[in-house]
Structure 1
Amino acid sequence: MHSPAELRAGLVELAEPVTPTEGYEHRVLRRARRIRGRRRFASGTAAAVCLAVLVTMFRVLGIGSAAHLAAVPADGPFLGWPPVGDVDTGLVREATSVWGRAGPHTGIRTLVATRNMHLRSVVVLQGYDEQGTARLAFFTSDQSASDALRLRADRPAPDPVKTQAISLVSPRLTGATGEVSTDGWGTYVLAIAMPGVTTVRASSAAIDVEMVGEPDAPTSRLIVYSIPLQGTAETTTITGFVRPDRPLARTTKVFEVAGEGGAVGDARAVPAEVTSRTGQHLVVTFAEGGAVRPGQFAVVTEGLVGRVAAVDETRSEATIDLITSPAFSGEVYTNISDVPGSVRGTGEKLVMENVPVEGEIYQGNRVLMPDPSQRSRQIGAVTIGRATTDKAADADTVELTPTADLARLEKVSIMTPSAGR
């Protein structure tokens, strides 16, 4: 038997030498290049197909560029918006008649004329008054008089190009003209958004929740929602969203505007701009004839900023004591639990004092201060702060954290009484 070494030697002798033909190496290299080229082409084609698929998915699913609102041409000095939902012609006739009692109106256009579960009936009209001025009017039912329509607010027509939403926030929308609701949640937010908006949201600093309109409802541009009597236009924000009609499309916020007031009997907010700040005091300027007086509140959406200490009517200026100023003090109470007390500024902080020992206040509890322009303990009461910590069982004081950002104030609203009071 041959050994492995002998077998290997025999095989070597039998094997024929392999001699590459001329140009063999070049043919191998060309073939390798062709194979690599095919692979690159296939990879590039696959990448292009994947990119096309992704672009198509983005378009179908609404991923990519954000949705936006298309401008609506103005109707002369009026909003060129189509009516929200179905128009009740009977309500339009009644509202037109009611508006006519305040003087003749012509060229009337309807924005809303519908029944509503909260306000029974809601009508919003545009039209010219006797002087030819474009006006906007809101009507709701008087639930104490067989749901007869009452004129709630009559204001100049808004800018037909820039306006994205109109609203009316008031506790005086359900009874006789100027009468306050007797319901603790009797302040109503009535808001209408421009065409193209699919969801309207109203948020109020008076409560810690948001109200969202049903985006698929026939009147999705219109919301009517109740909030506590403490709610005001100044502490309400209206936000509009658009969601493209595509599967899994994302919702995009397209505007955020302040709520609007002006119902008959409501306090009036005078806009003011901050011109300077010295320690715990602000100096603001306001429009001439703003009826600003000492003792009135200065507020922002988040809550109370301070109180007017002095007014220079010739310069339309007011000095405001911030709520953290040692010059600031007043009576307050906690929201919902209604624990009474008083507040004062220390120069840096805000303290609630004279709290009944048995009164329970927990961290985060909202503390309200009655607004003198409202002449009511509850209506329009402004949030001044929240409890920084739990009140100790045997204590009669608790520190508050202001809800308004006092360090970054540029504009405030000064609350003045209704013109009729």
Structure 2
Amino acid sequence: MHDTTELRDGLVDLAEPVLPVEGYENQVMRRAARLRGRRRVAAGAGAAVCLAILATMFRVVGFGSTAELAASPPDGPFLGWSPVGDLDVGLVRDATGVWDHASSTGPHTAVRALVAMHSPRLHSAVVVLEGYDKQGAARLAFFTGDSGAADALRMRVDRPAPDPVKTQVISLVSPRLTGAPGAASVDLAGTSAIAVAMPGVTAVRVSSTAIDDEMTQDPDGPTSRLVVERFPITATAQTVTITGFIKPDRPFAKATKVFEVPGEDGVTGDPRAVPAQVVARGGEQLIVAFSTDQAVRKGQLAVVAAGLVGRVGAVDATRGQATIDLVTSAGFAGQVYTDISNVPGSVRGTGGGLVMENVPAGGEIYQDNRVVMPDPSQQNNQIGAVTVGRASAEKVAGATTVKLSPTADIAHITTLSIMTPPAGGGR
């Protein structure tokens, strides 16, 4: 056996540190630095390649600058827009003949068509013409078919030509576009909206606050400058909004909103919406100013797109001012019913709130159900009925009242419309 002392000394010798030859550490450090430098160069080159690829992708797929809408140069006093789709020459000829005979302003000259086609949505023809009347005034007219007369064309509205520089979209919204002149539709979805946008607009979306589940054109969907849409009979031009979009023709490019405007009316039989400006507020009333040549009367409804603001309580025709009793005021009351389900009742302001009363005990009203009030300027209780509010909670079984939440943002209203009867009066 080996001596233990010798064994211990041998182990100590083995434990002595092994020292590298002089300069070894420096050689290792220099080699490591060279390797790191090569990696940095390679990484930088790789990053540059990636950036170049991404830049190319951005150029290809369209993540660049936002598209802009270029204005079409006017054609004298007319919109210098190209027609939408292929024009039906026969429809243009027929519509021009109707235009010439529909009023004392014909014959019309320099007639040009913006739309002349058959609309599957409306189940009839749609024609939009521009031209001079016999006095030399520039005019714009909409025509649709009469379902009760073998789709014969009827002139629905004849307006002064719009500003050819500023106008981006023209429209017509009415429940009186499918039958005899002035006759309202009897369909539940009887209000029609026609919108034609300027060239360059790739999609038009038409929506209405009179419907909860808005079926509107997707701006990222198929392109179109023309939209023909159907809405509930309660929808009016005052509840309709028309929005235009442009979208670059590149993959993954996003649509950009370029305009958002209210719908236009004016068909024979449509009530006249008188614009009014809020000039003062006092407790449960608003004071509004309007043009003195308008037929504003006590009892007419004051509305915004979201719904009912109140009712005209007093009129100063000389000054062109009216007092609006707010829908939430303690003195406000009227007959109402729930939209679609037609549960009847009456509404009463509570001095800051709103409640629906006299509801049949068996009537079912659920939270957020829409409650509407007939418009006295319309022909019946359904056409153009104005949203008053929504049920704040589900009506308790057997109860005859339910609280409502007003839909109009009364505290922030600066402008509104007063609904006045058409020529010949309402009801």
Q: Normalising by structure 2, report the TM-score.
A: 0.90
Do the aligned partners of residues 4 and 414 (structure 1) sit closer, same or farther apart at CA in structure 2, a change above 3 Å counting? same
| Deviation sequence 1:123-167 (CA, Å, 0-9, x none) | 001112223222110000111112111000111222222222111
CA displacement at 1:20 relative to structure 2 = 5.0
CA distance in 2, matches of 1:10, 1:141: 109
After TM superposition, give the deviation of residue 177 of structure 1 in Å. Answer: 0.7
**Does the alignment pair 1:113 with 2:113?**
no
Residue 55 of structure 1, CA deviation: 2.6
Tell me how far 1:48 sits from its aligned partner: 2.6
Residue type of the partner of 1:107? A
Deviates more, 1:95-104 or 1:237-246: 237-246
Pick the aligned partner of 2:133 from 94, 108, 129. Answer: 129
CA distance in 1, matches of 2:173, 2:63: 36
Whether contact under 8 Å (1:198, 1:216) holds in the other structure is no
- Which residue number in structure 2 is paired with residue 303 of structure 1? 307
2:59 corresponds in structure 1 to: 59
1:241 CA displacement = 2.2
- Asked whether the 8 Å contact 2:205–2:218 carries over to 1, the reply is no
Q: What is the CA distance between 1:398 and its match in structure 2?
A: 0.8
Work out the CA distance in 2 between the residues paired with 1:172 and 1:289: 26
Compute the displacement of 1:217 (Å). 9.0
Whether contact under 8 Å (2:219, 2:255) holds in the other structure is no
Residue of structure 2 equivalent to 1:50: 50
Compare 49-58 and 166-175 and name the one that shifted more.
49-58
2:215 alignment partner, SS class: strand
1:400 to 388, 401, 404: 404
> Does structure 2 retain, via aligned residues, the 8 Å contact 1:292–1:311?
yes
How far apart, CA to CA, are the structure 2 residues paired with 1:90 and 1:214? 32
**Counterpart of 2:241 in 1: which secondary structure?**
strand
Matched, 1:286 2:287: no
Are 2:204 and 2:217, in contact at CA under 8 Å, matched by a contact in 1?
Answer: yes
The residue identity in structure 2 corresponding to 1:197 is V
* Matched residue, 2:234: 230
Alignment length (residue pairs): 416
Counterpart CA distance in 2 for 1:284 and 1:193 is 33
Query: What letter is aligned with 2:143?
Result: F
Alpha-carbon distance in structure 2 between the residues aligned to 1:381 and 1:298: 12
The offset of 1:229, in angstroms, is 1.0
Query: What is the CA–CA distance in structure 2 between the aligned matches of 1:415 and 1:307, rounded to whole Å?
Result: 10
Among 174, 179, 197, the residue aligned to 1:175:
179
In 1, distance between residues paired with 2:14 and 2:236? 107
| Cα deviation code 1:163-204 (max 9, x no counterpart) | 221111111111111111121211101111222222221111
Indicate the larger mover: 235-244 or 334-343. Answer: 235-244
Q: Say whether 1:321 aligns with 2:335.
A: no
2 CA distance for matches of 1:10 and 1:300? 97
Q: Deviations over 1:50-91 (max 9, x none)?
A: 223223323333335433322222222221211111100000
Which residue is 1:259 aligned to?
Answer: 263
Where in structure 2 are the equivalents of 1:147-186 lying within 5 Å?
147-186=151-190
Corresponding residue number in structure 1 for 2:274:
270
1:33/1:9 Cα in 2 relative to 1: closer, same or farther (>3 Å)? closer
Secondary structure at the aligned position of 1:211 is classed as: coil
Q: 1:377 aligns with which of 374, 381, 393?
A: 381
Question: 2:203·2:222 contact (CA, 8 Å) conserved in 1?
Answer: no
Whichever residue aligns with residue 260 of structure 1, its letter is E
Deviations 1:370-421 (A, max 9, x none): 0011131111100110111111112111111011111110110111111243
Q: Is the 8 A contact 2:300 2:376 kept in 1?
A: yes
User: Would the aligned equivalents of 1:85 and 1:218 in 2 still touch at CA under 8 Å?
Assistant: no
Render the CA deviation track for 1:19-62: whole Å, top value 9, x for unaligned: 559xx96x988777665554444333333322232233233333
CA 1:4–1:43: 2 relative to 1, 3 Å: farther
Q: Counterparts of 1:214 and 1:135 in 2: how far apart (Å)? A: 32
Query: Alpha-carbon deviation of 1:319?
Result: 1.0
Q: Tell me whether 1:79 sits opposite 2:79 in the alignment.
A: yes
- Give the secondary-structure state (helix, strand or coil) at the position aligned to 2:257: strand
> Would you say the 8 A contact 2:203–2:223 is kept in 1?
no
* C-alpha distance in structure 1 between counterparts of 2:365 and 2:327, whole Å: 20
Q: Which amino acid aligns with 2:115?
A: V
Query: Normalized against structure 1, the TM-score is what?
Result: 0.91
Question: What is the distance in 1 between the residues matched to 2:370 and 2:158?
Answer: 34
Question: Aligned partners of 2:240 and 2:14: how far apart in 1?
Answer: 101
Q: Which amino acid aligns with 1:82?
A: S
Matched residue type, 1:149? L
Q: C-alpha offsets along residues 186-231 of structure 1, whole Å, 9 cap, x if unaligned?
A: 1101111222222221111111122333779988211112111111
Identical columns (%): 63
Please give the secondary structure, in 2, of the residue aligned with 1:361.
coil
Amino acid at match of 2:48: A
- Match of 1:396, as an amino acid? T
Instruction: Assess, with a 3 A threshold, how the Cα gap between structure 1 residues 320 and 17 changes in structure 2: closer, same or farther.
Output: closer
SS at match of 2:44: helix
Any gaps of 5 or more consecutive residues in structure 2?
none
Contact 2:220 2:255 (C-alpha < 8 Å) held by counterparts: no
Distance 1:342 1:58 in 2: 59
For 1:81-111, what per-residue CA distance to the aligned partner results, in whole angstroms no more than 9, with x for missing partners?
1111110000000111111122222221211
